[in-house]
Structures are given as structure tokens and as C-alpha cells.
Structure 1
Amino acid sequence: MTVRLLSLALTVLILAGCGAESTEQSGGHEHADGITLSTTEWSEETELFFERPQMVASHKSAPWAIHVTRLDGHQPLTEGRLTLRFRRPDGAAYVHELDAPSEPGIFTPQPTIPEAGTFRLFMIVEGTRLQDTVEIGNLTVYESASATPSPEAGSAEISYLKEQQWETEFGVARARERSVQQSIEASGTIEPVPGQYAKISAPVSGLTPAEANLDMPAPGDGIRKGETLAVLSPSGGEGSYADVKGRVERLKREVRRAKRLVKAEAIPEKQLVEARHELELAQAALKSMGEASETTTSQMSNTSGGDSDFNYQLRSPIGGQVHERHLAPGSRVEVGEVLYTIVDPSRVRVHVRVPAEHAADLQHVSEGMFTVEGSEVLHRASRIVSSGAVIDTDTRTLPVRLEASNPDGRLKIGMMANARLLLENSEAGVTIPNAAIQMEDGEPVAYVQTGGESFERRPLQLGPTNGKHTLVKRGVQAGEHVVTAGAYQVYLASLGSSETAGHGHTH
């Protein structure tokens, strides 16, 4: 590894367009060579946290410890190159290159700068699917060791080492300025859309002839409207389906006979009127048992052998999917017994219960979204169907119903749902991901990464949330990095827990 002076033109081309954020602290870890300085830089792709000694002109530096973390997944760079460029005020630069990390995620250069002065330091990281140039800032090289300044006292911060971060699920995100749409949070359940859910009961008591019911639909089968679900052979007895069916046929014959006799003036017309009235009553009774028309009777006559004129075809009133079936070929059923449940799951309703204090805001709801138990997938409601007019005095909530498409059937009837109703109003300010907000002793807090291995606990004053980001009125500034994964480990580190106690670097 060598240090060389490059021409101004080449350096300007390479360094164009670089930019990042900077955090530098005096103090840090004390090595045999003296006190080191700690610096942390973030770009959109990487985090560079490094500890370095003071630089003295023409002296080989003690080892630096440069920790390179990929922000996508927050994992160490295990292979790749790192280039340090020390740019002079005239644009020329001294360059120090390393072909690989000395251990996963850690580069340990020992550059030598032959002259004193202030240099602009850039670090270029090259790895698999990674090419990143990060501007670190000014670095001073002193004439002699006696000219180096004394370190300032470090601040009291939470220490959580890079080696610990890399070994656990860890992540950070930058606080950003954005507008947040105000919202209402409510819980509820997935319900069927009226007209797309049917429980089909036995209109008559009887048997399900085995031969005629071998192909009856099973749970999961698709069903068309009007399709036969089962064939029933009704039981006899007064008032039974067979009894009413026979009465209708008999009264039809009597009406036809009365017509002929009235025409021949053999009986008074009053008897024909009475016969027709009796037929209408019998037909109404038959229709209440599910008989649709005379064509149904003719269709049924060939469904099973023997005396099939009085067999009954149970048909689906809607198209959809068989959810439940409560009968088998050859079984007996009783009138009113639920035999099938049919559901069309292409659309569903979400019945949520909104807290009473938000009742006045419901008139400003513009959109609804929700998640269901066991999944983090966010579903959007196609429309807001209705909101109640009466608050439940027991739960102090108001019912609201949303409707959503469900083409893949992922949403199941009866699932629990967590919904968020977005209002028309919005508010701008500093926001952080909801994952960064922790509740401690009933109060919201966030852990802010002030350096690669240093953190601060910040109490928060929160504003509205859209379910993904929340506006922070006090506690975090724009551009700061908040912990979104691994906050509990940082919390343990703040307590000095033996589970996360720092052990110092071994590089």
C-alpha cells in the first residue's frame, strides 16, 4: 500500500458530485498509540464509522478502524476495496488504497501524509453491486506529535458496538421532512358483502338419496347461481312437501274439471272461484318450501329412479364457493337444518369500530386502508360504505364499514383487521417511521444514532400518523438517524445489561 500524489484534473473528475453527513467526536476508544477520534458518515447506501489517531506529517499512522456497513440490510462489507483520498487545497490528492477488509466490515489502513496541512478526505467504497463515494470532511495533519491538540471529553451516550449491531437484526432510517395525512385508527373484522353470502337450509325434511347425490359439491368447489347442491327425497305426512305437492296437483285437476262444468252450466261459477282460491293457497305453501315453478318439477323427475316426481332439488341462490357442507349422500335432514354455506369472496366488507372521540372527524374521511392478522400486507378499501349514526353505549364506538376487492381470496371472512381511516387534512413536519417509536413507561421514545456506535434516548412529542410515518413535533431533527430495528438491544445497552455490555474492539 502506497500514498501517491495525483493530478488536479484526475481528482476533480473522480470527486465530482460527492456528499454526505458528518459526525465527529474526540475521545472514543483509547489504544496503545493514544486517544483516537471517532467519525460517522452516512450516504444513501453506506454508513462509514471510523476511529483514527491524530496524523503527523511524514509519520506512518497507527491503524485506523474503518467500519463499512451496507444500509440495505445493515450488514458489514465482507469483500471489496476502500480508497482514501486526501485532497490538498490546490486540488491534488494523496491516495491510500486497500484491496480487502482485514476482517468482515473493518478496514485498517495506516496512511502516511508527507506534509502538514488541512486536507479534504474522501472515501471510495467498492464492493459487489456497490460503488459509493463519501465526502468525510476536513482532516488536519500536524507538523509534530507535540502540536496535536488534547482531546475533548466525550459526551455521556449509549454505546452499542458495530460488531454487536452486525450480529443482530438492526436498522436505522433518516428523519425526513414530509406531509402526513391525519388518520383515525380502529379495529374490526372481515365480513361478507350482503348478497354474496348465503346459508342454505333444508326447506323440507327427508333423505338425500345416495345415488342421486354422489356428485354433490364439497367445500372449496366453485358454484354457479342456480346450480343443484343436493337432491332431497321429502318425508310424507300431513303438511309435508309431498303432501302439499300432491294437494297442488289434485287442485289443478279440480280447477280444470270446474272450468268444464261451469262452461256446461252444470255447476255455479262460485265453485270454480273457490277451487282456484284453494289452488293459490296450496301453491303459495309449496313455494314457501322452495318450489320455484312447474319446470322445476319436470327437471326433477329424472334425477333418481322410482317415484321421483316428489324429489326436491336444493339449488344455490348465488354464485361463489362452497364454504361449508353439512350433509352426506344417504343422510337424513330436518326442515330448517343448515346444509350449505356459500360465499362469493371476490369482495369483502371491513366492519370497524371507531372510538367515539373521533365521531365528528368521520365526515372528513377520504380513504381507508387496513391489515389483517398474521400479515403486514396493506390493503386499500375501494370505498367507504357507511358510518353509523348511533354510538354504542357499552363500547363507546361508532360502526364504520369499508369495502375492498379480494381477487386472490387472501382476505377470509371472520379475520381480525386493523384499519386506518385517512382524513382530508394533512400536516407537514419532521417524520420518522412508526417502527422507530418505542413505548417506555407509557411514553413514546426513539433511539437516535449520533455516531456509528453511540446512541441517545429521546422522549418524543408526536403528531398525526398515516400508519407508516409519524410526525414528530419534538425530540428528533430532520436528517438524524433513528433506530428502526434493534431498539430493544440499544435499550439494554443503556442499562449496562450484561447481555449487551461493550467489550471493546479487537482490531
Structure 2
Amino acid sequence: MRRIRTLAPLLLVPFAGCAGPPVDAAVAADHSHAGGGVVTLWTEALELFVDYPPHVRGMESDPWAIHLTWLANWKPVREGRLTLLLRGPGGTREEIVLEAPAAPGIYSPTPTLPETGFWRADLTLATGGVEYEIPVGQLQVFANQEALPHDVETPPTDLIAFSKEQQWSMPFEVAIAEARRIPGSIPATGEIVAPGNGFAHISTPVAGLLLVQRRSPVPGDAVRAGETLALIAPTDGDASYARMRHDVVRAEREAARAEHLFAAGAIAQRRVEEARHELELALASFEAIGGIREGEEGAGPDPNVYRLQSPIGGVISDRLVAPGQHVGVGTHAFTVVNPDTLWFVAHVPARHAEAASDVSGAWFTVEGASHTHTADRVVSVGTVIDPVSRTLPVRFAVSNPDGELKVGLLAEGHLLLGAPVEGVAVPTRAILDEDGLSVVYVKLGGEAFQRRVVDTGPSDGTWTIVRSGVASGEQVVAQGAYQVRLASLGDVEISDHGHPH
């Protein structure tokens, strides 16, 4: 069985130190309560939050509340054998094995410890063929009930209780504030547009009847450049396509006949040049409307039927005509968009126009979505301020392989510029706007949180520098902060062991 050892403890601001000698450096005690205690720490895979009761020599204790959470998804451990090893004075050992949690994420041993003094507690979780070793720290065993401490340390009054069961029942995640280098930024709104070579309005260059095809492309279908989208049969009322094709055939014949007569000495060179010129004019007119000469690839079995083709590869976003419909010259029939790479066109306020020349990238969100998109390729920076909006356009190329971005969506974000600023950063999604104040919720223990007002700095969309309010190494709620805020507004209190009542 593979064994996983602890990597690092949860960095805490403890309520108060436990009585007795200091605990192991890898363990931080949240606080003590009349001889018991609460400990929160992280391993590389798990968060441990344990609330243990006072211990009296030779007496079975009240149940421990050992909460185990997977850090990968912040969900409770639902299966696995947990071993609690307790080592006391003089080599005394007690071992308790629990085959499964009493409830999702919670194990509840009740040790009986035979000697007074300080005992070392360690946990081992065995699940999925892996053993996870988790240190708990030291606890004290008292001689009798009278020897238990009577003073209970009171935690700060601004703590917010949010139980593990509440955390497990919702999307929840905690992240560590850390030092980062983030460029300065300027705010900008904008929209998602298609680049010139990635968007095509396809209109009918000839008038006629739209024929029924075996497979007629519809919105959402992918098409290739040159693929036929519709067949148009020119009508008697306007046979321009057929007439132009006939003009090409006639000009080809005249040019060939002139070449033959000139070779026989029957006509002058000028007649040959005139015939070639007429052919060139006929071909230019025919090809301008997308005509295909007989025998060419894609001509089809009926040379008099016009094949309306897509000039670009992409996805059909609109189809505005139907089989059997009569279309005129210039009827808008299809819209094709290549969604693989789109543009984020940011409208920079005129007061920031000078700084726009230093733009190196951008991050933004689009309406109706919370996901942050990034762009690091600047296509162009405008040179003219729009007289109406008083903004300067800056275009960014944005990769869109999953098609999440749609042409026409409005966007809001920041443009990154200048030298990076170094400071303590937290995930951007951890910051809430509460009545105009930027607020984060810091985790002080397994079930205890604290509201902090922060002064925000530059942001890259994913991380934001906070100039005050949070120290490096502290933990902030990256997902679920709003629910913690709601808990702070309710009628909940934190008892001496951090559980809501």
C-alpha cells in the first residue's frame, strides 16, 4: 500500500494556544476548551479538522469529531479505514481502528487513556490502496474531573461559524494568499466580433429559384471553404447567369476560331487580340458572380444551375432562404462564422488612451457568464478617438476552440500594461463587492471564518493583488464566499469549539 505523508500545515491565526508544552511544528491548535481542543491542518491531499474533548485517566472520553475533507474537490471522505494512534508517557500506546466514517467525512472515536500527562495523536487513513498519514499533535490527560481546567478561552467576537457539513453541501474551495507579480491594468468594456477573414454574409449574385438539395446545410453545420450551400436555377424572367455563361462559351469559340484563322493567314493579328479581349471580359463578369465553367471542379451535372458556395470555412450561423424560394440578386442567404479565433474589441476611455500603447494583454468576462477569458495577442491599437463614445478601440485575438464565445456578446474586463506589480494576491473570485467595499472571507479554522475589507490592486482576471487586509499564507474562501457572508448575517454563534449553535 502506497503511503502519503503530510506536506504542510494549514496556516492559521489561532484562537489561543493550548495549555502545556508547545505542539509539534507541523500542527497548529485552534484553541482549547476546558482540557480539550480543536486542530485544523492540511496534508497534500486532505484537510483535517478535529474537535477532541477533555480526557481523564482511565475514563472513556466523549466522541471525538474528526472531519476529513478531500482538497481536490472539497468534499467529505466517504469511505476508508481510519487508525487513531495515541502514544503516552513511558511508551504507552493506544490504537483505535474505525472501518468507516460514522457519517460522510466524520469519524468519532472514544479513546480511554490510562496514564496522565501529554499524549501524541496521529491518524492514518487507508482508502483506495493508499495510506494518508496525518499528525494531530499533543493532548493532555488529567488525573480526575477536578483537575480539568475551568477557564475557557473565548474566541474573537467577529468570527463567522460555517460548519463542515455546510461546506460539503455546496461548491466550496479555499485558496492560499501568495506573492505574485501582476501587471497594472485599465478597465474597458467591449464586444466579441469576428475578424474580417472569419465572417461572411453570403448573398445571391443571380436571381432564380432555390432548388431542393439532398442535404441542405442548416445553422450549426460546419462547412468548408468552397462548399456548395445552395443551388439556384435562373428563371426565365432573369436568366442573367445562363446568359453570362453562354457569353463565355461563345467568346471561347470566337477566340479559338480567330486563332485558327490567324494561323491560316486569313485574318490580321488585331482580330485575334479583339477576340481574346472579349473572352477576358466575359470570363471576368462570369467569375465575379462565382460562376463555374463546364468541366471545372464543382461545376455539377447541369451547367446552367448556379452553385452558391461558402467563401470561408466555419459554421453556419444564419440561413435566411429555403428550398423553393425565389431569390433576387443580392438576397442575403447565409452567414458563416469561423469561431476558432475571434476578436475582443475593447473600448478604452479617452483618458487612458496614452497608456493603451503599452497594452500587452487583456482579461475579460462576457455577459451571462462568470468564466474569465484571457488574450495575450494584440491585433491593433486604434489611432482615432470615437467622437461619440470618447473611446479608443484596441483589438485582441482570442482563441475559442470550444466555441464558448459568441459573436456579438458584450464584454467587460481590464487591459494589462506596464511593469508588473509585486504583492500579496488572492483569487479574483474570492473578492466580493459589499456596498462598494472589496471584501474577502479568511479561514481561521475548520469551521471559523473572518470578514476582511481589502484594498485591491492590479488584477490579471484570475488573481488580484490586495494591498491590505490579507497576509501571505492566509487562506481565503475562493468559492462559496457569498454563502459564508450569508452565514455571517444569520443568528449563529460560535461556541468555544467553533461549531454553530
CA distance in 1, matches of 2:35, 2:390: 60
CA distance in 2, matches of 1:184, 1:254: 67
Q: Deviations over 1:57-111 (max 9, x none)?
A: 4444333333333333333333333334444588x46333131434433333333
Alignment of 1:72-151 (within 5 A): 72-87=72-87, 92=91, 94-99=93-98, 100-128=100-128, 131-149=131-149, 150-151=151-152
2:38: which partner in 1? 39
Residues 1:17 and 1:439: Cα distance change in structure 2 (over 3 Å)? closer
CA distance in 1, matches of 2:178, 2:7: 20
1:201: which partner in 2? 203
Residues 1:321 and 1:234: Cα distance change in structure 2 (over 3 Å)? farther
1:162 and 2:168 equivalent?
no
Residues 1:147 and 1:356: Cα distance change in structure 2 (over 3 Å)? farther
2:381: which partner in 1? 387
Q: Is the 8 A contact 1:300 1:311 kept in 2?
A: no
36-45 or 276-285, which moves further after superposition?
276-285
Q: Deviations over 1:405-438 (max 9, x none)?
A: 4456554433445555444532333222222211
How far does residue 444 in structure 1 lie from its aligned partner after superposition? 1.1
CA distance in 1, matches of 2:316, 2:289: 20
User: Which SS does the other structure have where 1:451 is aligned?
Assistant: coil
Partner letter of residue 167 of structure 1?
A: S
How far does residue 447 in structure 1 lie from its aligned partner after superposition? 1.5
CA distance in 1, matches of 2:323, 2:166: 64
How far does residue 441 in structure 1 lie from its aligned partner after superposition? 0.8
User: Which SS does the other structure have where 2:444 is aligned?
Assistant: strand
Report the TM-score, using the length of structure 1 for normalisation.
0.73
How far does residue 469 in structure 1 lie from its aligned partner after superposition? 1.8
The counterpart of 2:458, out of the listed 440, 464, 474, is 464
1:191 and 2:193 equivalent?
yes
Residues 1:478 and 1:362: Cα distance change in structure 2 (over 3 Å)? same
Q: Is the 8 A contact 2:231 2:307 kept in 1?
A: yes
CA distance in 1, matches of 2:461, 2:63: 46
CA distance in 1, matches of 2:251, 2:411: 56
CA distance in 2, matches of 1:248, 1:341: 30
How far does residue 446 in structure 1 lie from its aligned partner after superposition? 1.3
1:20: which partner in 2? 9
Q: Is the 8 A contact 1:372 1:416 kept in 2?
A: yes
User: Which SS does the other structure have where 2:49 is aligned?
Assistant: strand
2:234: which partner in 1? 233
The counterpart of 2:331, out of the listed 331, 334, 337, is 337
Residues 1:16 and 1:385: Cα distance change in structure 2 (over 3 Å)? closer
Q: Is the 8 A contact 1:181 1:426 kept in 2?
A: yes
User: Which SS does the other structure have where 2:386 is aligned?
Assistant: coil
1:5: which partner in 2? none
197-206 or 246-255, which moves further after superposition?
246-255
Alignment of 1:356-395 (within 5 A): 356-368=350-362, 381=375, 383-395=377-389
Q: Is the 8 A contact 2:180 2:424 kept in 1?
A: yes
1:65 and 2:54 equivalent?
no
User: Which SS does the other structure have where 1:488 is aligned?
Assistant: helix
Report the TM-score, using the length of structure 2 for normalisation.
0.74
1:476: which partner in 2? 470
CA distance in 2, matches of 1:122, 1:278: 95
1:8: which partner in 2? none
Q: Deviations over 1:20-63 (max 9, x none)?
A: 24645589xxxxxx956441312133333333333344444333
Q: Is the 8 A contact 2:77 2:104 kept in 1?
A: yes
Residues 1:18 and 1:117: Cα distance change in structure 2 (over 3 Å)? farther
How far does residue 440 in structure 1 lie from its aligned partner after superposition? 0.9
Q: Deviations over 1:196-245 (max 9, x none)?
A: 3322333343445x4xx6358523252443858434426558x9667778
Q: Is the 8 A contact 1:430 1:473 kept in 2?
A: yes
How far does residue 252 in structure 1 lie from its aligned partner after superposition? 9.9
How far does residue 378 in structure 1 lie from its aligned partner after superposition? 5.9
The counterpart of 1:413, out of the listed 407, 421, 425, is 407
Over the aligned positions, Cα root-mean-square deviation in angstroms equals 4.7
How far does residue 397 in structure 1 lie from its aligned partner after superposition? 3.1
**Percent identity of equivalent pairs:** 37
Find the structure with the greater CA-based Rg.
Answer: 1
Paired residues, what number?
Answer: 471
CA distance in 2, matches of 1:344, 1:322: 9
How far does residue 459 in structure 1 lie from its aligned partner after superposition? 0.9
How far does residue 445 in structure 1 lie from its aligned partner after superposition? 0.8
Residues 1:118 and 1:396: Cα distance change in structure 2 (over 3 Å)? farther
How far does residue 458 in structure 1 lie from its aligned partner after superposition? 1.0
How far does residue 385 in structure 1 lie from its aligned partner after superposition? 0.8
User: Which SS does the other structure have where 1:218 is aligned?
Assistant: coil
The counterpart of 2:430, out of the listed 433, 436, 448, is 436
1:451: which partner in 2? 445
Structure 2: which 5+ runs fail to align?
Answer: 19-32
2:395: which partner in 1? 401
CA distance in 1, matches of 2:227, 2:4: 73
Q: Deviations over 1:118-139 (max 9, x none)?
A: 3443333334466333333343
374-383 or 78-87, which moves further after superposition?
374-383
1:487 and 2:481 equivalent?
yes
Residues 1:95 and 1:174: Cα distance change in structure 2 (over 3 Å)? farther
2:154: which partner in 1? 153
Partner letter of residue 48 of structure 1?
A: L
Q: Is the 8 A contact 2:360 2:376 kept in 1?
A: no
